[in-house]
Amino acid sequence: MPGGRDENALVAGSGMRVGFMAVCVLGGLLLAGCGERKEQAAGVEEPEATVRSLTEDSDRFDGLLTVFVDRDDGTVRALIRPDQFDRELIYVSTFQDAPVAAGLGRGWGSKNAILVLRRHFGRVDFVQPNTAFYFDPDNALSRAADANISPAVLASAEILAEDDSDGVLVDLGPVLLNESFTQIKPSPDPEAEDEPAFDLGALSETKTRFASVASYPKNSEFVVEYVFENPAPVVPGGDEITDLRYVTVRLQHSFIEAPDEGYSSRRYDPRVGYFVNRVTDLTSTAAAPWRDVIQRWRLQKKDPAAELSEPVEPIVFWIENTTPEEFRDTVAAAALGWNQAFEQAGFENAIEVKVQPDAAGWDAGDIRYNVLRWTSSPTPAFAGMANWQWDPRTGEILGADIMLEYSYMTRRMRLGPAYEITADRTPTKAGLAFCSLGARRQLDNLFANAALKGPGAGPGDDPELFRQTLMELVQHEVGHVLGLSHNFIASQLYDSVALYGGAADTGGDVTASVMEYASINLKPDGGGNGLYYQTRPGVYDRWAIEYGYSRASPDPEAEEARLDEILTRSSERGLRFGNDGDDMRSPGAGIDPRIMIEDLASDAIRYSADRMQLIRNLTGDLVQTYARQGQSWQELVAAYKGIRAQWTNMVVTVTRYVGGVRVDRSVQGQPGARDPYRPVPVAEQRQAMAVLAEQLFAADAFDAPEALYRHLQTQRRDFDFYGKTEDPKIHEQAL
């Protein structure tokens, strides 16, 4: 109980005193003595609880918050100093371990918000203010800035003790051992299909507990194990869940010191792809009263006058000691490759890379360390996942981690019966950004191995293919933590003739950006030219970094003119932008066929037709190619999955040109600007229909040697086929 008082003991003690008085009265001779004892008992008061008395049996952790962990019962208390009230902190929550079936996973960020601690008499309220609006302080309306805008009181804790000099002590159990700060169990989707979904169940109050506590100078970290109970589960969750009735989710709560002043925000512009903090100006009369700012690091030149200068503080990435040693050099080279882009912004050695020693005294929970981390999960939902923390007021990025998944460097597949990428269909918490580049690269590599090398060709058997795969994946995820979103029009930089020619015709690039999901580059005969993937920041990436990180002019008007000069180049070849909000990966989404995933070349219809013909040529020899004495046909199945997924990608790419509309987001008067919407030229639409008629709708479109379909047998594992058929579902693929 608060203050360490046991009210049940007090009630029992009162009963004992009443009984003792009765005995004294009946005894007669001891009446006076009993009265004296009663008077003394009534005058004794239990001492008031103090910070010291409540924490003397606790381990102390000094840092942003002073945290005490009771050695007897594990109670976690925090001391809040007087200067920490009514002062803005940053709250971030990140999943440390969770089942993918629930739409969660290690490294996935969940919440990033401003937090204010406010005292209300004997309680401390944890309040999340609303940062989505701006009021000009010189406008009289700013006096009503809080009108009809609701802050969120996330939790309220009773003050257990108070010390005038040190602050107040609160129990963090009622604050964090529930879903007050971060919702873990997803809300039901009202538009979901009728099929039942995996259900975590109800949160257990008795089993949920703190797993670890740490406090650093700029952040305090609390990892909580949330145990959910579902006594009658219906939907299985995968082998990684030991017992479906009891599921554990580990979530890290981070309280971060708000950064010092001195950071200057940079405005967002729809012509260049950065993640954004959305802010609406409620005192503006503009048609688009938005003061959105991009998310980026605080990077300042040591020598502001120099054209090229090292930063005052570089962005340092640590390769976690979980990283396979044979990967480390490639991972480091990939991250350092972004220095090429920063040179266009005026920085030299903007990024540094170090390797975490095995005996390091720090871990990835310390926000002072930006870590490239590796896992090998039973049911991975991604190959790479970028997670970063930022200031919701300014967009300043404060720290970052990148999760990389070893299983996507192997041939262990996650494909449904029709060989679609299940990672794209993995349920995720609402609003969670998702990156499936690695899943697509795994399929591309399977296809490339079938085209280039034949049996036994895994990623590790072609060192250059594997190196480029890893380089692109790491650079892509590093690009995210630098603030860049996807750019799915970057694959349109070169035509198919130039791409088939290789580095001599493209200058060493495949696309305009490593933030793409482009198809693997192979020649029509199935050969390679050394350029499989984009392995360095492209022309778009360098331009985007220039916009986001080049040094600002101290004069506001001159700065606006400088930024406009950079942005007017957006209509140039290779600098166009379109991200997940524009792409046409799903039917009914997007309108511009150039903003597409798994395509390649400015003449993507021709390139796709060439690839489909290559696939036809490969299919006829697959059984003979993968016939290996004493082996199952699992390797053939994996190769076929890669080939089939590649064919599907090409067909889908071509369909998007029929009825497509090209989008231009240039501003009025910008050089090279076109009408915002232009239909795809009729000649291209007819070309697309001709390819579909030949490759998709023709009577022989799905013809293959009979021997191939008869050998597509997945290697049996125990009772995997129980209750269902094991045939390769060729008709389902076609549909």
User: What are the percentages of helix, strand and coil residues in the chain, rounded to 5?
Assistant: 30, 20, 50
pLDDT for position 7: 34
pLDDT tens across 338-381, in order?
999 999 999 999 999 999 999 998 877 677 899 999 888 776 66
Which residue shows structure tokens 């794209």?
424
Give how far Cα 115 sits from Cα of 53, 111, 389, 538, Å. 29, 11, 14, 38
Of 17-26, 250-259, 273-282, 639-648, the poorest mean pLDDT is in 17-26
Which of 34-43, 186-195, 315-324, 574-583 has the lowest average pLDDT?
34-43
Query: What is the residue whose two structure tokens read 């590790």?
Result: 460
Which pLDDT belongs to residue 165?
77
AA letter at 101: A
- The residue that leads in pLDDT, 163 or 335, is 335
- pLDDT for 368 equals 85
Q: What are phi and psi of 213, to 5 degrees?
A: -135, 135
Q: What is the mean pLDDT of the chain?
A: 87
Q: Write out the two tokens for 457.
A: 């060709």
C-alpha count within 13 angstroms, C-beta hemisphere, residue 625? 22
651 or 362: whose pLDDT is higher?
651
Q: For residue 514, how far is the Cα from the chain centroid?
A: 17
Who's near 575: CB < 8 A, 6+ residues apart?
512, 539, 540, 543, 569
pLDDT at residue number 19: 39
* Total-model pTM: 0.88
The yes-or-no verdict on residue 478 having pLDDT over 80 is yes
Is the confidence at residue 242, as pLDDT, over 70?
Answer: yes
- Cβ(232)–Cβ(199) under 8 Å? no
* Cβ neighbourhood burial of 636 (10 Å; 0-12, 13-18, 19+): buried
- Residue 15, pLDDT > 70, answer no
Do residues 488 and 595 touch, judged by C-beta distance below 8 A? Answer: yes
The rounded distance, in Å, linking the Cα atoms of 585 and 632 is 35
Partners of 117 in the beta sheet? 85, 126
Segment 693-697 shows an average pLDDT of 94
Q: What is the pLDDT of residues 112-165, one digit of tens each?
A: 999 999 999 999 999 999 999 999 999 999 999 999 999 999 999 999 999 877
Mean pLDDT in residue range 161-174: 92
Amino acid at 481: V
Q: Which of 190-204, 253-267, 441-455 has the lowest mean pLDDT?
A: 441-455
The DSSP bridge partners found for residue 69 are: 59, 76
Q: Token pair for residue 494?
A: 């070169």
User: On the CB side of 677, how many CA atoms lie within 13 Å of its CA?
Assistant: 5
Has residue 106 got a pLDDT over 70? yes
